[in-house]
Chains A and B, each alone.
Chain A
Amino acid sequence: MVPFLVAALVLALLGGATVVVSESPIRAAGGLVTCCVGVSAAAAALSAPLMPGIVLWLGAGGIGLLLLAAVLLLNLSQEERGRRRVGVRGTLAGGVALAFAIVLLRAARSATALPSGITGSDVSAALGQSVAPALGVAVVALASAVVVTIALIRRRT
């Protein structure tokens, strides 16, 4: 399982790097979908119940394909014009992120065993009891966002 986990994480990081580096918005959207698939595969390798399918469904389907369709609709296949907005702050943020990642990856060497025991029924029970109000709010927000999206797109101004 560990090689599968490492491969999934590499896939996710490659997708994220594609979003950061790629000039073409279409390639960036493809990188986002790749990142979603990698995160979903990592969740599957970690034996997280319910999460792989939902990450793939919402992440790749709800977010990735939506943004890809938006990019294709706006015909943004050309590269962005002009220089990037990477100034001193962007370089500084990148350096801090790199240092942070190095520290974290060094810390990851001391790997610990995964305490398993969470099952799908546990997560379902938590969804139905502990986080039920939050889940209701989230679903209402998602439905509202879809309605607002349709209204904004169909609006004639």
Chain B
Amino acid sequence: MMVSLPFAAGLLLFCMGLLTAAARRSFLVVLMGAAVAVLGAVLAMIAAALRHGSAVALASALVFLVLATAMVVAATATALATYRRRGTENLDELTELSG
């Protein structure tokens, strides 16, 4: 069974997520891009862990996924609170901290 193909696909997913986060202006869509990047990283970690036969690496991928879920949950709450306070979640209009 091929292992390097999932690794390549994971890295491609990671690049897609970064591109989404860089290109879009909606807070929630940027979060979706971050989630896609996390999924790509998890896929690459799974492929690498299976290639090297490391159960600890596989468990680390699981921990990483739980932490990423916590990040996305907190960021979604921030987006909802920002929308309630400012009436928008467009990142180009959120310039309070720009100095």
Contact = CB atoms under 8 A, between A and B. Distances in A.
B93 to A, nearest CB: 10
Contacts of A105: 5, 8, 12
Contacts of A101: 8, 11-12, 15
A111 B43 contact: no
Contact of B85 (A13, A20, A157): A157
Given A55-B65, A152-B78, A76 B55 contact: no
B39 A39 contact: yes
Nearest to B66: A138
B52 to A, nearest CB: 8
Interface residues of B, number: 73
A63 B72 contact: yes
A135 B66 contact: yes
Given A100-B11, A142-B70, 15 more contacts: A16-B16, A19-B16, A19-B29, A46-B1, A62-B73, A66-B73, A70-B80, A85-B25, A101-B15, A107-B4, A110-B4, A145-B71, A145-B74, A152-B80, A155-B81
Interface of A: 1-2, 5-6, 9, 12-13, 15-17, 19-20, 25, 28-29, 31-32, 35-36, 39, 42-43, 45-51, 54-55, 58-59, 62-64, 66-67, 70-71, 73-74, 76, 80-82, 84-86, 89-90, 93-94, 96-97, 100-101, 104-105, 107-108, 110-118, 122-123, 125-127, 130-131, 134-135, 137-139, 141-142, 144-146, 148-149, 152-153, 155, 157
Top 8 A-B residue pairs of the complex, sorted by shortest distance between their CB atoms: A97-B15, A149-B77, A104-B8, A122-B55, A111-B2, A126-B59, A138-B66, A145-B70
17 contacts: A1-B1, A9-B5, A17-B16, A19-B20, A43-B43, A49-B58, A84-B25, A96-B15, A100-B15, A111-B3, A111-B5, A122-B55, A138-B63, A138-B66, A139-B66, A152-B80, A153-B80
